[in-house]
C-alpha cells in the first residue's frame, strides 16, 4: 500500500491512499483520518485500507482524484519520536575525518543514534527556511521506517516485525554547528533543523525483493542544482532496521508512529557519488588535500528520488529549495 498526507487546516493533515502508479488518490477518512491514527490502530484498520487500495488500483474507488505530490505534507507531519542512526559505517568513518573527531567506541558493534525534532517535518516540495547560509547547509539522503508499538528490550527480529511503513528522508544539517555540539558530549541540537520527507510512505511489500534483510536496497539518486551528485544504494547499510529499532528500544518502549532513520546512504565505491556534501568534501580532502565543494546557498535546490532497476520511484520525489528564514 501507498499513503500520503495532504495539507489541511489540521497540523496532521488528511490521510490519502495513493495508487500504485502514483496517479490517483482517495481520502481514507472513513477508515483513518490521519497517518498517525492509521499507524496507532494498524491491526484494526489495515485490512480496510488494503481493500481501498485495491479498489483504487482497479479504478473502482469512489471519490478518487488526481494525486498531486505538491499538495503533500510529510507522510507524518509530526510524530512522537524521530531517531536517526548512522548505519552506513563508510559514512561514519569519513565523517570522523571530516570533523577531526576520535573514533567512535564500538562503532562496528553498537549502532550510533541521535534523537531529533519530530514536531515539524517538512513536505517534499516545501521551501527549507534557514537563518544563515554561513552555517554549512547540507542535505542528507536516507531511508527510514515508521514503526508500530515496540516493547522495551525487543530482539532485532521481533523489532523488524513492527515495521509498518518505509519512507525516504532528507535529514538537513548545519555542518558548522556540528563539531561544537558533538564536543559537548550532549550531541546534535541546533545543527539539525526540520527534516524533510518524500511524499509517499509505503508498506514494505511495495518494493518486493528490494526490501530484504531489513534494508531498502534501492539507489538513491541525488541532484544539487540540477546536477548529478550521487546514487548510492541502501544495500550497504551495516545495521538492519531491525537492529536499529531494537537499539532504540533497549531501555524504553517506542510509541506507534516513531520514525527510525538509517543515516546518510553511503557506499564504499567512489564512482556512485554521495548523498551529502560533507561526505564529498572529506573525500576531496583525502584525495586532493583540500575540500573544494562548498555548502548550499540560499536559492539552491536539491532533488532526491529512490529508484529501482525498472525506473520505478516508489516514494516519489523530494525537490526542495533553501531560502532565508523570515525571522
Q: Tell me what pLDDT residue 98 has.
A: 63
- Whether the Cβ atoms of residue 131 and residue 24 lie closer than 8 Å to each other: no
Q: What is the mean pLDDT of the chain?
A: 95
Instruction: Tell me, yes or no, if the pTM score tops 0.85.
Output: yes
Considering the chain, what percentage of its residues have pLDDT values greater than 70? 99
pLDDT, one tens digit per residue, over 43-56 is 999 999 999 999 99
CA distance 24 to 53: 10
Q: Reduce the DSSP state of residue 161 to 3 states and report it.
A: coil
pLDDT band at 188 (very low <50, low <70, confident <90, very high): confident
Q: What is the dihedral of CA 166, 79, 84, 234, to 10 degrees?
A: 10
Q: Tell me what pLDDT residue 95 has.
A: 73
Q: Tell me what pLDDT residue 6 has.
A: 98
pLDDT band at 96 (very low <50, low <70, confident <90, very high): confident
Number of neighbours of residue 315 by Cβ within 10 angstroms: 29
All domains of the chain in start order, with CATH = 2-71 (no CATH), 82-324 (3.90.850.10)
Please give the average per-residue pLDDT across 263-292, as a whole number: 93
Please check the confidence at residue 99 and state whether its pLDDT lies above 70: no
Please check the confidence at residue 125 and state whether its pLDDT lies above 80: yes
pLDDT, one tens digit per residue, over 148-165 is 999 999 999 999 999 999
Amino acid at each position: 500500500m501507498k499513503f500520503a498526507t495532504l495539507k489541511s487546516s489540521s497540523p496532521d493533515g488528511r490521510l490519502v491512499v495513493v495508487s500504485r502508479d502514483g496517479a490517483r488518490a482517495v481520502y481514507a477518512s472513513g477508515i483513518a483520518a490521519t497517518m498517525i491514527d492509521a499507524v496507532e490502530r494498524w491491526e484494526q484498520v489495515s485490512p480496510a485500507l488494503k481493500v481501498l487500495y485495491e479498489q483504487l488500483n482497479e479504478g473502482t474507488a469512489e471519490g478518487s482524484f488526481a494525486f498531486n505530490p505538491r499538495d503533500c505534507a510529510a507522510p507524518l507531519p509530526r510524530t512522537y519520536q524521530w531517531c536517526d542512526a548512522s548505519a552506513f559505517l563508510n559514512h561514519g568513518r569519513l565523517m570522523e575525518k571530516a570533523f577531526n573527531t576520535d573514533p567512535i567506541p564500538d562503532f562496528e558493534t553498537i549502532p550510533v543514534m541521535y534523537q531529533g525534532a519530530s514536531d515539524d517535518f517538512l513536505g517534499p516540495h516545501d521551501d527549507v527556511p534557514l537563518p544563515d547560509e554561513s552555517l554549512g547547509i547540507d542535505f542528507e539522503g536516507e531511508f527510514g521506517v515508521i514503526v508500530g508499538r515496540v516493547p522495551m528490550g525487543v530482539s532485532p527480529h521481533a523489532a523488524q516485525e513492527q515495521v509498518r511503513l518505509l519512507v525516504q528522508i532528507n535529514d538537513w544539517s548545519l555542518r558548522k554547528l556540528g563539531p561544537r555540539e558533538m564536543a559537548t558530549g550532549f550531541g546534535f541540537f541546533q545543527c539539525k533543523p526540520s527534516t524533510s520527507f518524500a511524499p509517499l510512505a509505503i508498506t514494505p511489500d511495495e518494493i518486493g525483493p528490494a526490501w530484504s534483510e531489513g534494508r531498502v536496497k534501492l539507489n538513491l539518486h541525488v541532484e544539487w542544482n540540477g546536477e548529478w551528485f550521487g546514487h548510492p544504494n541502501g544495500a550497504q547499510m551495516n545495521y538492519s532496521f531491525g537492529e536499529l529499532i531494537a537499539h532504540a528500544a533497549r531501555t524504553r518502549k517506542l510509541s506507534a508512529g516513531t520514525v527510525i532513520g538509517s543515516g546518510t546512504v553511503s557506499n564504499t565505491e567512489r564512482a556512485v557519488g554521495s548523498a551529502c556534501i560533507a561526505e564529498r568534501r572529506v573525500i576531496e580532502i583525502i584525495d586532493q588535500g583540500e575540500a573544494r565543494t562548498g555548502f548550499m546557498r540560499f536559492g539552491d535546490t536539491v532533488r532526491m528520488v529512490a529508484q529501482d532497476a525498472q525506473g520505478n520511484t516508489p516514494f516519489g520525489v523530494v525537490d526542495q529549495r533553501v531560502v532565508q528564514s523570515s525571522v
